[in-house]
């Protein structure tokens, strides 16, 4: 499974800190809950496009000796399964959906230069996810008055901070900020937001 690695700093600083396996070693297993530090278990690599970075980063993996499952520590500026960083995606969505810039202008707002079609894909997923996001983010922040769910979700994300919201979504509800891509879900489970609980 993937858990988020809270990280403040540049991509460069992130890669430097990866050398030390103890620095962010989980003290217990998030899967079987055994209270035993996990064993460093190599890395996997993935591509990342950030405002000042376009390349490959390593993601550290740990192994639980008790249940033999692995846990990888995804830096929280990265969205699972998406190549562009959270910052790049947020800049684009805010420019297009919040400020009403054209697709081309919004693509230029979110460096590095990219085809705007990539942004259209994020917009589709964000729109599909907006209502559920508003409901979930209400646990973090008062819902903002807005004409629709898309604007409300954006206003809430801008207030909480996108990375703080992402951390919450991922840790608390295992939700993806843009919705899990078709066929992919955390831990092989179908991703869903729980409906408001009604007393049994």
Specify the stretch interacting with Zn ion by CB under 5 A; choose among 6-14, 67-75, 88-96, 146-154: 67-75
Specify the stretch interacting with Zn ion by CB under 5 A; choose among 29-37, 107-115, 127-135, 187-195: 29-37
Q: Does 66 bind Zn ion (CB under 5 A)?
A: yes
Q: Which of 11, 48, 49, 64 binds Zn ion (CB under 5 A)?
A: 64
Task: Give the Cα separation of 50 and 160 in Å (integer).
Answer: 21
Nearer to Zn ion, 70 or 160 (CB): 70
Four-residue CA torsion sign, 136, 34, 6, 42 = negative
Task: Report the phi/psi class of residue 163: left, alpha or beta, with left for phi > 0 and alpha for psi in -120 to 50.
Answer: alpha
Judge whether 4 and 30 are in contact, CB under 8 Å. no
Nearer to Zn ion, 63 or 103 (CB): 63
Specify the stretch interacting with Zn ion by CB under 5 A; choose among 63-71, 87-95, 115-123, 134-142: 63-71
Task: Give the Cα separation of 47 and 69 in Å (integer).
Answer: 24
Q: Does 38 bind Zn ion (CB under 5 A)?
A: no
Query: In the numeric block, which tokens belong to residue 75?
Result: 């830096």
Q: Which of 3, 18, 29, 74 binds Zn ion (CB under 5 A)?
A: 29
Cis before 112 (ω within 30): yes
- Tell the residue number behind the tokens 């278990």, with chain if given: 41
Which residues would be at the binding site for Zn ion (CB under 5 A)? 29, 31-32, 64, 66-67
């Amino acid at each position: 499974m993937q858990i988020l690695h809270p990280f403040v700093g540049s991509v460069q600083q992130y890669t430097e800190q990866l050398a030390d396996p103890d620095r962010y070693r989980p003290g217990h297993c998030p899967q079987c809950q055994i209270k035993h530090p996990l064993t460093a278990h190599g890395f996997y690599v993935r591509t990342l496009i950030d405002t000042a970075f376009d390349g490959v980063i390593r993601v550290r993996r740990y192994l639980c000796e008790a249940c033999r499952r692995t846990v990888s520590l995804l830096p929280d500026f990265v969205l699972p399964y998406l190549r562009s960083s959270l910052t790049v995606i947020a800049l684009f969505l805010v420019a297009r959906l919040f400020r009403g810039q054209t697709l081309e202008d919004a693509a230029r707002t979110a460096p590095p230069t990219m085809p705007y079609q990539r942004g259209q894909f994020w917009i589709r997923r964000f729109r599909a996810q907006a209502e559920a996001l508003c409901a979930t983010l209400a646990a973090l922040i008062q819902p903002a008055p807005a004409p629709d769910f898309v604007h409300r979700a954006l206003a809430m994300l801008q207030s909480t901070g996108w990375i703080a919201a992402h951390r919450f979504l991922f840790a608390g509800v295992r939700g993806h900020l843009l919705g899990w891509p078709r066929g992919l879900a955390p831990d092989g489970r179908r991703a869903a937001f729980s409906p408001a609980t009604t007393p049994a």
